[in-house]
Amino acid sequence: MPDYIQQLQKHMPEVAAPIIAQWIVDSKCHFRISRARVTKFGDYQAPYRGQPHKISVNNNLNPYAFLITTIHEFAHLRTWQQHKNKVKPHGGEWKANFKFLMAPFLQLQVFPEKILVAVVSYLDNPAASSCTDLHLYRTLKEFDPPQTETTITVEMLEQDDFFSMKNGRTFQRKEKIRKRYKCIEIPSNKIYLFHPIAEIVPLKKPS
């Protein structure tokens, strides 16, 4: 347990770490701090063929985004415990569990006022998941470390523009599908959905 707490305190507000560590122990969850991923901030996998619950959260998130993403994924775990796969991923059951799990952190006043307002607003809006709620996401981004270069995001591009990620992978932006942009990887032609404010590097059309 102390090891969990020490590791978690490197990525989230210190006062929140013991609570999350207890959740990991109680649920027997395999919790992994993952490398940065383009299309998601965290991930939950239900138990399968004797494997435990699995949660991963990106290591490049600021402490408040890391904590909210962790709560998001544990809400999936709790919903699966109650309903297995019989309910929608971000339906009313998940929403209720997210609100329930968020409560102790609101009581501890973990979040700065601006994030708190965005979280409370999100909790009153059952139509959106926390990772696709742009107001909450944009608010969390304000607490990222300052950058020396101008930030370019997917939503700033025109349709059919090309761009690359920091890892060198190249994509072409296509139409918006609900709250994300359909992007085609070059040259594999695989389709990925990008968050509107995913940070990218614009490119000229590949030769």
pLDDT in tens, 26-35: 999 999 999 9
Paired strand residues for 105: none
Asked if residue 134 lies in contact with residue 197, where contact means CB atoms within 8 angstroms, the answer is yes
| Lowest mean pLDDT, pick from 12-26, 90-104, 146-160 | 146-160
Q: How confident is the model at residue 101 (pLDDT cuts 50, 70, 90)?
A: very high
What's this model's pTM, rounded to 2 decimal places? 0.81
Rounded Cα distance, 101 and 85, in Å: 20
SS3 194: strand
Q: Which amino acid, 11?
A: H
* Backbone φ and ψ of 193, nearest 5°: -105, 125
Rounded Cα distance, 178 and 137, in Å: 16
Tell me the two tokens of residue 88: 């929608």
Q: Is the pLDDT of residue 160 over 80?
A: yes
Asked if residue 164 lies in contact with residue 186, where contact means CB atoms within 8 angstroms, the answer is no
Asked if residue 13 lies in contact with residue 67, where contact means CB atoms within 8 angstroms, the answer is yes
Rounded Cα distance, 99 and 93, in Å: 10
Q: How confident is the model at residue 180 (pLDDT cuts 50, 70, 90)?
A: confident
Average pLDDT of the segment spanning 79-100 = 92
Q: Is the pLDDT of residue 126 over 60?
A: no
Average pLDDT of the segment spanning 137-166 = 86
Rounded Cα distance, 13 and 166, in Å: 27
Rounded Cα distance, 75 and 129, in Å: 11
Average pLDDT of the segment spanning 133-161 = 85
**Strands, E, within the chain: which ranges?**
30-34, 42-45, 54-58, 162-164, 170-177, 180-186, 191-194, 201-203
Tell me the two tokens of residue 22: 């207890």
Average pLDDT of the segment spanning 66-74 = 95
